[in-house]
């Protein structure tokens, strides 16, 4: 299985699932007349990222790793979302970035060095190692944590919502 095949379709699936998850959160918050701000700054534990930063992080890991491995500019967008609708748009943009890469371009970088920022320093890894052992685990970590914050806040969602459309599986 190629690097593209083992990463890009999964990013597409989970980002799509998270769009549905956020749509349910937006609908529930609107129906109950809750303020977005009550969720945006929520976190599971005081030293963890806020919901907003969790969403920004999983979006950035998906879009930046896809673009970087396709040899495209992978500068992240500004982190300035202040509403649930703006976070939804960030997911849409991340999905668009992921959709913009070609199989040939991603696979061409599997064995090449890629350099990316990690905090204040630059790290260089082989493309496949970067994707499978850094970007992909970080993507899942932040997506699951965002999902868990929503569940903790009482948003009515389940695992099938998180998974999105699973190829070969009938819709619920």
DSSP structural state of residue 83: S
Residues in the chain: 172
The model's pLDDT over 13-43, given as tens digits with 9 standing for 90+, comes to: 999 999 999 999 999 999 999 888 889 999 9
How would you label 105-143 residue by residue, b for 16+ Cβ within 10 Å and e otherwise?
A: bbbbbbeeebeeeeeeeeeebebbebbbebbbebbeebb
Going from N- to C-terminal start, the domains of the chain cover 3-74+99-163
Distance CA(158)–CA(128), nearest Å, equals: 31
Q: Is 114 helix (H, G, I), strand (E, B) or coil?
A: strand
List, for the chain, all residue ranges whose pLDDT scores fall below the cut of 70: 172
Q: Right CATH number for 3-74+99-163 from 1.10.287.130, 1.20.1730.10, 1.20.120.450, 3.40.50.720?
A: 1.20.120.450
| pLDDT score at 119 | 87
| pLDDT score at 75 | 85
Torsion angles phi and psi, residue 117, rounded to 5: -80, 140
| pLDDT score at 124 | 97
């Amino acid at each position: 299985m190629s690097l593209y095949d083992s990463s890009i379709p999964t990013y597409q699936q989970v980002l799509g699932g998270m769009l549905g998850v956020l749509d349910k959160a937006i609908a529930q918050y609107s129906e109950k007349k809750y303020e977005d701000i009550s969720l945006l700054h929520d976190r599971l534990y005081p030293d963890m990222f806020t919901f907003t930063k969790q969403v920004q992080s999983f979006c950035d890991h998906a879009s930046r790793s896809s673009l970087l491995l396709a040899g495209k500019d992978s500068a992240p967008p500004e982190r300035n979302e202040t509403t649930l609708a703006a976070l939804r748009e960030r997911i849409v943009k991340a999905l668009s970035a992921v959709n913009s890469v070609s199989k040939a371009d991603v696979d061409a970088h599997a064995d090449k060095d890629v350099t990316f920022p990690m905090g204040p320093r630059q790290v260089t890894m082989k493309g496949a190692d970067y994707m499978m052992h850094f970007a992909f685990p970080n993507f899942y970590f932040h997506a699951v944590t965002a999902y868990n914050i929503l569940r903790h806040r009482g948003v009515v969602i389940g695992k099938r919502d998180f998974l999105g459309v699973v190829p070969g599986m009938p819709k619920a």
